[in-house]
Homo-oligomer: A and B are copies of this chain.
Amino acid sequence: MSDLLERLRGRGWRVTSQRRVVAEVLDGDHVHLTADEVHARAAHLLPEISRATVYNTLGEMVSLGEVMEVSTDGRAKRYDPNAHHPHQHLVCSHCGAIRDVHPSGDPLADLPQEQRFGFTVSQVEVTYRGLCPTCA
């Protein structure tokens, strides 16, 4: 986990106890927590941590490219620490479970030039939706 902390420290980030617990909470694979969930888990480790700090810290991690922001449901944004490995998301339409997936091929290549309307396209987000084994 301190991978993330080490990288951030290397970028001149001041490491505080608040930032450390947020980084700890975000450790792991297939982690897609909302800001509120991050706050709840962080508060378990450091009871006085404020909501504003969690939002600020997450925002900074996103700016630094160390964490991805994902919004799969139009409600709260979710934070995905797996930002260094390009991937897409598979979401259960019923229970909201999320998995990281790696489609074959380059989704960007599927958009023909004449369908780009002069845009300089630089990024593609793909969300696959369906039912997970438990909900099906």
Contacts and interface: CB of A to CB of B under 8 A. Distances in A.
A132 interface: yes
A77 B74 CA distance: 7
A126 B129 contact: no
A119 B90 contact: yes
Contacts of A126: 107, 124-127
A68 to B, nearest CB: 12
Contact of A99 (B92, B117, B131): B117
A47 interface: no
A130 B125 contact: no
Nearest to A92: B119
Contact of A103 (B92, B104, B115, B119): B115
Contacts of A127: 124-126
A120 to B, nearest CB: 5
B121 A128 contact: yes
Interface of A: 69, 71, 74, 77, 90, 92-93, 99, 101-105, 107-108, 110-112, 115-133, 136
